Amino acid sequence: MAGAVRAQYAGGMAAPPALSGDETWFRFRPGWSWMEHVAKSAFGQDHAALGRMLRPLLAADATVIDVGAHGGQVTRLLADLVPDGRMVAVEPSGYARTVLRTALLLRPRRNVTVVATALGAAAGTALLSTPLKGAGAMGYGIASLASDAARAAVREVVPVMPLDALVAAMALPRIALIKIDVEGHEAAVLAGAVGTLRRDSPILYLEVVRDSLTRAGSSPEALWSLLAGFGHVGSAVPAARPAMADGDWLFRPAATA
């Protein structure tokens, strides 16, 4: 394989080449940008405000699920909020998991379990596309099951399972919080979590981006309608903005909102 293609898979600094055939499939080789991703994930914290917001809402022994854990900054934060509970970090990307697991080796959290799957409405397999940035680094924070044909990307086959099946397989107790950041597939994750939503009425922390939802075949309107059916009320964070506007949203059962 050509050196430029090797650099792409390693997260090197070469410009991303035009890929075809076998070159489009993800093969992990650590490089400088991978080390930068690990350092940021292990020692950075871009979500301190989220911790301050969620701390009063979570008991120390709560069970929480991070869907789309990426490099693990939010996973570490949530694990610290539930030191006597369970933190399940769900991440389908092989590259992201290398960052996540290495960060957890450097900054251990004993209550974290990493699960290598995507979550969706039904069990199966899917193609995960990870875009390449202009310098050739892996854009692992925006990996998606809905590929963007306009961007160079590498692919990998990943398993898909419903969140309800994951909860059953792991025999998880009541779920207090589910954070979902899956580049537009939030509605599919929730469609596979109906039993958990009914059983536990968890708090939901969601990223909402209309373009991403549309590319995945959904919309903010569909998301709001689905959650309203479970009695959840959304509030924009960190500041108020119009309903269904792009950004992060906290959905809580109406009785506690």
pLDDT digit string (tens) for 143-163? Answer: 999 877 677 888 999 999 999
- Domain 3-253: CATH architecture, name and number where available: 3-Layer(aba) Sandwich (3.40)
Q: ∠ CA(235), CA(100), CA(77), 5° rounding? A: 40
Question: CB of 210 within 8 A of CB of 232?
Answer: no
The SS3 call for residue 26 is coil
Return the pLDDT at 120: 97
Residues of the chain with pLDDT under 70: 1-23, 149, 257
Q: What H or E segment, with its residue span, contains residue 53?
A: helix 48-54
Which pLDDT does position 23 carry in this prediction?
57
CA 191 – CA 39 distance, rounded (Å): 35
Residue 66's SS3 state is strand
Beta bridge partners of 147: none
Cα–Cα dist 111/82, whole Å:
8
pLDDT given for residue 232 in this prediction? 96
What pLDDT digit, counting tens, does each position of 39-86 carry?
Answer: 999 999 999 999 999 999 999 999 999 999 999 999 999 999 999 999
Q: What is the pTM for the complete model shown?
A: 0.89
As a dihedral over the C-alpha atoms of residue 229, residue 238, residue 69, residue 199, rounded to 10 degrees, the angle is -30
Boundaries of every domain in the chain: 3-253
